[in-house]
Structure 1
Amino acid sequence: MKMQTDELLTREQVPTELTWDLTHLYADDQAMQADLTTIKDLAQQIGAMKGQLTSAANLVQVLVAARDLDIKLEKAYVYAFLRRDSDTTKADANQLFGQAAKTLEVVQTQTAYIEPEVMQIAEADLAAWLDQEPKLAEFKVMVTRMRAQKAHILSATEEALLSRVSRTLNGADEIYNTLNDADLDFGKIKNEAGQLVQLTHGNRSQFAESADRRVREAAARAFAKPYHDLRNTFAQMFNTYVGGRNTTAQLRHYQSARQAALQPHEIDESVYDTLIETVHQHLDLAHRWYQIKQQALGIKDMSQFDLNVPLAGNDVLKTTFAEGKQLTLDALSILGPEYMDGLTREMNERWIDAAENKGKRSGGYQVSVYDGNPFILLNWTDKLYSTFVLAHESGHAMHSWLSQHHQPAQYAEAPIFLAEVASTFNENILTEHLLEKYHDNPQAQLYILEESINGFIGSIYRQTQFAEFEHQAYTAEQAGETLTADLLDQISTDLLKQYYGPNVSLLPEAATQSWAYVPHFYMNYYVYQYATSWAASASLAQAVWQHEDGALERYLGFLKSGSSQAPIATMQAAGIDMTNSQYLTTALQLFERRLDQVESLLAKMK
């Protein structure tokens, strides 16, 4: 089915089969709103237990009730979240999400006492309760993690106050997404045929890959223009968000927002620093790739808007949504029946929202529901890239699906540090499948290899660049600097020059405002995990694809583990030690081999 038109479809014009089926959660908005009323009542009941965590029976009662409440709240909140993201211009959807957000605030306020009171339980008493009350056993890991953060948990009163203002502290995130997804207009540009076409988040890549350099440059300038025009507004939003994260970290007695983001997930900050140091040591490989492209394309003055032109051509391996689903199913069949059962349901039961429409959230993501199924947002373009995005988000979905079927709710959601391994693993497996499928087609091989290289560039190099930018911004704000547009532009430009190297020139307005394009900057030290995860998953995928003894079983065990162990221990059980730089070096050696393969193919195709 054709999913691209010159004019963006309205939500009502999108074929039903290309939208997600939210009746998997609720029959309609009214059913969800009725659940919100029940959730608030249950929250009040839990709130009434404040000050009573003085026995094993009471502790079990509150923990079980809070877990069950979280399951119900997640279902309602995700429903409203997906309704809003389907079309952010719809007032009723935004109002529904507002109701869910307020309910979340009520729940957080009513349950804010739990962690402080758990902290106050004497070690001897807690040990005795764990011996006496079998129902506490499944909460042992959760309680242990909670108590490990004792220095950062405030009093019950302070936690309640902080939960009440959390929506305000995080408000910049919602404002950014609304502005970015609903209100920005990139205007129209002329395509290769000279026709005026609306530029959107979804079709931007189509023009970035154009063989016509004038189209590429026009698209880059048009995309950058609204961000440049609103640069001070975007800077103020980012400054507000970063300030809120730094303030919250300070209130919780962390040394920094980075520590506050990593420590609760049992990730040492050295992992972050090691990533940046190791990537710096291998920047020459990225620079080599840009030089390969420059020579192959025959461009003397290589610009950043030239980097996405496929060496094999634009129309190689174009895939419809139906074809992309089948390719993903075929590639991932190596993971066995349990995995494929969930993946087949995802593809056939409308867990995916595929087509771009006016007001729809840009990009792609997966969100899981313990009392339901995962949902995936895409903005399909018929480029092979979209199939890789589908495989990526399906990795998240099946990680969630398998964890929720093998773990209780409190351990079903894996931290992002692990979740991104599952998603990028699928991209690496898809690459191997396609290289095998098209082994006798040099042009297709070149195109597939470039997609793989783009994965290394986009996930390791670009995300590490983002991680550096993010950390520099947080550090500057914490030191008392205001994150003005000029300051952010300078940080961004300096990093781009370093990562692109000497052969790539910058388009000034596109380079300076590139920090404003990235929604993940509103997810608080999130981006570095794309890089660490890609590096880890590259090794895991090689082991599974080559049928190394025990590799598949270890990987499936990883997918089923959720957050039941510390992330580093979970990865070690899967076969990857992330406490040193070796996993990064191993992945970058694979990247170097991909470069060698491309150079060899180009030489043969001359």
Structure 2
Amino acid sequence: MVKSLPKRAQVNEKETWNLQNLFADEEAYNKAIQAVQDEAASLETTYKGTITDAASAISALDVYRKLQENIIPIASYAELAVSVDLTNDEAQMRESRFSSLAAKINSQTAFVMSELSELSEEILQQASELSEEYSVLLKKIIRLKPHQLHPEVEKSLAALSSTFQAPYSLYNTTKLADIAFPNFTVDGKSYPLSYVSFEGAWESEPDTAKRRAAFQTFSNKLKEYQHTTAKTYDMHVQTEKTLADLRGYDSVLDYLLMEQDAERTMYDRQIDVIMEDLAPHMRRYAKLLQKIYKLDEMTFADLKVPVDPLFEPSITIEESKKYMDDALGIMGEDYLDMVNRAYSERWIDFAQNEGKSTGAFCASPYGSGSFILISWTGSMEDVFVLAHELGHAGHFYHANHAQNIFNSESSLYFIEAPSTMNEMLMANHLLKSSDDPKFKRWVLSSIVSRTYYHNFVTHLLEAAFQRTVYEHVDAGGNVNATLLNDMKRKVLEQFWGDSITLNGGAELTWMRQPHYYMGLYPYTYSAGLTISTEVAKRILNEGKPAVEEWLQVLRAGGSKTPKELAKMAGIDITTEKPLRDTIAYIGSLIDQIEQLTAEIESQ
């Protein structure tokens, strides 16, 4: 039963994460802030204007690296506290103060990258040979040299960093603090509605009347904020366009892809092939759901229903631990120890409360354990989501131990591979646990409706929409609510065709995702899952040798390019084959669901 959300102060502390893993108290946090201010001032006084050769470059980077290591836990402490309760004024003010401080420090220390960029490629190569731990960073500096601006301009841009982040902060404030959803009514009975309850329960509610009423009430409230949200998004994309132009890129897309070390062909392939080749499979899946639920009309509001709600177990937080142990045990003792620590040391924020960020994420501050946000509703979807986020935690657990701070984070193109890998391992574990046709159909449908729908449909349609927006902005345009709604509607129509009817409000789904404020993030979910699908097959067939190769990939962090990381795992992403093989695999899953449904219905 969906209930109204409590205040943050009312939730069980055991279901919250422990930020004391970062700082014992506010006094320790404030001391750390003062320390990094002193470090930044010392760095500027000592090294500004002195980085002229390989030796001075390495010396400055040693100090700069230490500063970055000390800033990260401060940033995490401020940002994580807000993410679980945006209505907390104290937490909001703390984050705002840190944002201003970070902008000041960024401006103070911008000279480091500017002076390194002004060195010749020969000197940068010498520095790389002098200290191998900085070789990846120095190669990146060489790659970005053509787009580096005058040092004073870079300093000014760094000083404006908090201003550049303002649209995202405004988006979150509107979404999590200002929008209050009313109850909806079905057959005279009133039901509570919130972001968490809609996305975690009502969106997949088996009762059609309740599901559609929740969707309509949810959409009607979103619509009231469409103009504010659209203006916020326009400010963000116009900022990106300005920065792309200033740095001499041909387009915003080129600017954002450069940061990922990914090529435009890789980006376009992911969107174009899925839009064309996956669509027929998902339309077939939609028709199957319509048949199972005996719906006269299949609408957008019906796409998230489970194939068999009777096989939807209610899972407690404690029970979820056994699922993780059983499914992820193949990754080895060290990995499983990390998973157990996530539970015992309160890395995970399970609570549902007012003002909490929607969805789920994993933050892994360098030098610390991870922090996983999820709003636990007790569904199998939560189990898959938690496995996903623990995949991020496992990735950074290994990378942070093996790499320095500059090499620890892999390209955004690859970032979702370790997380979706855990979803595949969970699915494979469940498939092996029973031969019962209904159970097998439930597991297969969970893989399609959760893992693949989320990463290959929801986020991919975001990516197709996002590309349309950037192409419009690159042509000199601005966006507003009417235009964004039209763009989103056309993407949905292209993918789903006549297999569904688009309810009024389907076009507003662009308002629900924060990923549009994170660069070209949406398409990377399908890119990562393409890699993890192929690697999961290897692990299933080869066992321990494939697992060890995958762990080596995790340890590599950001020391390799996306292509190199995939190659280490035995996958060639320079071709379409892995993507087309993954789409064919999704089609085969739907084939099996159809066959099992026919078998079950004939009994």
TM-score w.r.t. length of structure 2: 0.96
Q: What displacement does 1:392 show?
A: 0.4
Residues 465, 488 of structure 2: 8 Å contact kept: yes
| Conserved? CA contact 1:365–1:377, under 8 Å | yes
Counterpart for residue 352 of structure 1 = 348
SS for the counterpart of 1:46 is helix
Instruction: Give the aligned residue type for 1:587.
Output: T
Q: 1:18 aligns with which of 15, 18, 26?
A: 15
| Aligned residue type for 1:121 | L
Letter in 2 for 1:560: R
Q: Deviations over 1:12-59 (max 9, x none)?
A: 111111000111110112211221111111111112221100233321
Question: Whole-Å Cα distance in 1 between the matches of residues 222 and 474 of structure 2?
Answer: 25
Quick one: which amino acid aligns to residue 92 of structure 1?
E
2:163 maps to 1:168 = yes
Other-structure match for 1:68: 66
SS at the partner of 1:417?
A: coil
Q: Distance in 2 between matches of 1:123 and 1:321?
A: 53
Contact 2:261–2:411 at 8 Å: present in 1 too? no
**Quick one: percent identity of the two aligned structures?**
28
* 1:250-289 correspondence to structure 2 within 5 Å: 250-282=245-277, 283-289=279-285
- Give yes or no for the alignment of 1:197 onto 2:191: yes
Where 1:565 maps in the other structure, the secondary structure is coil
**Secondary structure of 1:277's aligned partner:** helix
Greater mean alpha carbon deviation, residues 267-276 or residues 461-470: 461-470
Q: Which residue of 2 aligns with 1:412?
A: 408
Aligned equivalents of 2:463, 2:585: Cα separation in 1:
22
Aligned to 2:371: 375
CA distance in 2, matches of 1:433, 1:72: 40
* Closer/same/farther in 2, CA of residues 129 and 458 from structure 1, 3 Å limit: closer
Q: Please report how far the alpha carbon of residue 127 of structure 1 lies from its aligned counterpart in structure 2 after TM superposition.
A: 4.1
- In structure 2, C-alpha distance between the alignment counterparts of 1:245 and 1:324, rounded to whole Å: 41
Is residue 545 of structure 1 aligned with residue 537 of structure 2?
no
Using the alignment, how far apart are the partners of 1:492 and 1:352 within structure 2?
34
Residues 297, 501 of structure 2: 8 Å contact kept: yes
Preserved CA contact (<8 Å) 2:411 2:561: no
State the AA in 2 paired with 1:415.
S
1:476-522 alpha-carbon deviations (Å, 9 max, x no partner):
122222201111111111111111221200111x2121111111111
- Give the conservation status (yes or no) of the 8 Å contact 1:80–1:93: yes
**What SS class does the counterpart of residue 372 from structure 2 fall into?**
strand
Give per-residue Cα distances to partners, 1:286-337, cap 9 Å, x unaligned. 1111111112221121111111221211562221111122201210001111
Amino acid at match of 2:145: K
Deviates more, 1:387-396 or 1:311-320: 311-320
Aligned to 1:85: 83
Per mean C-alpha deviation after superposition, the further-off stretch among 311-320 and 322-331 is 311-320
Unaligned runs of 5+ in 1: none
Distance 1:516 1:141 in 2: 37
Q: 1:65 Cα deviation (Å)?
A: 1.0
User: Corresponding residue for 2:586?
Assistant: 591
Contact map agreement 2:431 2:443 (CA 8 A) in 1: yes
CA change 1:212–1:194 in 2 (3 A) is: farther
C-alpha spacing 1:128/1:169, structure 2 compared with 1 (3 Å) = closer
1:312/1:444 contact within 8 Å kept: no
**1:211-250 matches, cutoff 5 A:** 211-250=206-245
28-37 vs 424-433, greater mean Cα deviation = 28-37
Corresponding residue for residue 56 of structure 1: 54
CA offset at residue 548 of structure 1? Answer: 5.1
Q: Give 1:201's aligned amino acid.
A: Y
Query: Which segment drifts farther, 80-89 or 274-283?
Result: 274-283
Summarize the Cα distance change of 1:251–1:496 in structure 2 as closer, same or farther, 3 Å threshold: same
Query: 2:478 aligned to 460, 479, 482, which one?
Result: 482
SS in 1 for 2:201: helix
Letter in 2 for 1:16: E
Which amino acid in the other structure matches residue 200 of structure 1?
S
Shift of 1:415: 2.4
Aligned in 2, Cα 1:214/1:182: closer, same or farther, shift over 3 Å? same
Letter in 1 for 2:520: Y
2:4 corresponds in structure 1 to 7
In structure 2, the partner of 1:527 is: 522
Structure 1 range deviating more: 546-555 or 359-368:
546-555
CA deviations 1:384-403 (Å, max 9, x no partner) are 00111100000001101111
Which of 296, 302, 319 is equivalent to 1:300? Answer: 296
CA 1:506 to 1:113, structure 2 compared with 1: closer, same or farther past 3 Å? same
| Equivalent residues in 2 for 1:305-316, closer than 5 Å | 305-313=301-309, 316=312
1:216 partner letter:
R
Contact persistence 1:20–1:351 (CA under 8 A): yes
Deviation per CA, 1:51-106: give whole Å up to 9, x if none: 10023332122101111111111000001111111211111101111122112112
Q: Letter of the 2:9 partner, please give it.
A: E
- Equivalent in the alignment of 2:37: 40
* Separation of aligned partners in 2, 1:599 and 1:109: 59
8 Å contact 2:171–2:232 — kept in the other structure? yes
Residue 90 (structure 2) pairs with residue 96 (structure 1): no
2:298 match: secondary structure: coil
Counterpart residue identity of residue 443, structure 1: K
Aligned-pair distance for 1:441? 3.0
Match for residue 430 of structure 2 among 416, 421, 434: 434
SS class of match (2:184): strand
User: Helix, strand or coil: the match of 1:409?
Assistant: coil
Question: For 1:209-242, what per-residue CA distance to the aligned partner results, in whole angstroms no more than 9, with x for missing partners?
Answer: 2222110111101111222111111110111111
User: 2:534 corresponds to which letter in structure 1?
Assistant: S
- Partner secondary structure for residue 196 of structure 1: strand
Q: 1:152: Cα distance to partner?
A: 1.1
Residues 186 and 225 of structure 1 are in contact (CA less than 8 Å); yes or no, is this contact kept in structure 2? no
**Distance of 2:320 and 2:580 partners within structure 1:** 31
Q: TM-score, normalised by structure 1?
A: 0.96
The structural deviation recorded for 1:565 is 1.2
Q: Aligned partners of 1:212, 1:38: CA distance in 2, in Å?
A: 56
* Contact 1:186–1:226 (Cα < 8 Å) also in 2: yes
What is the CA distance between 1:128 and its match in structure 2? 4.3
Partner deviation per Cα, 1:363-411 (whole Å, 9 max, x = no partner): 1000011121111000111110011110000000110111111112221
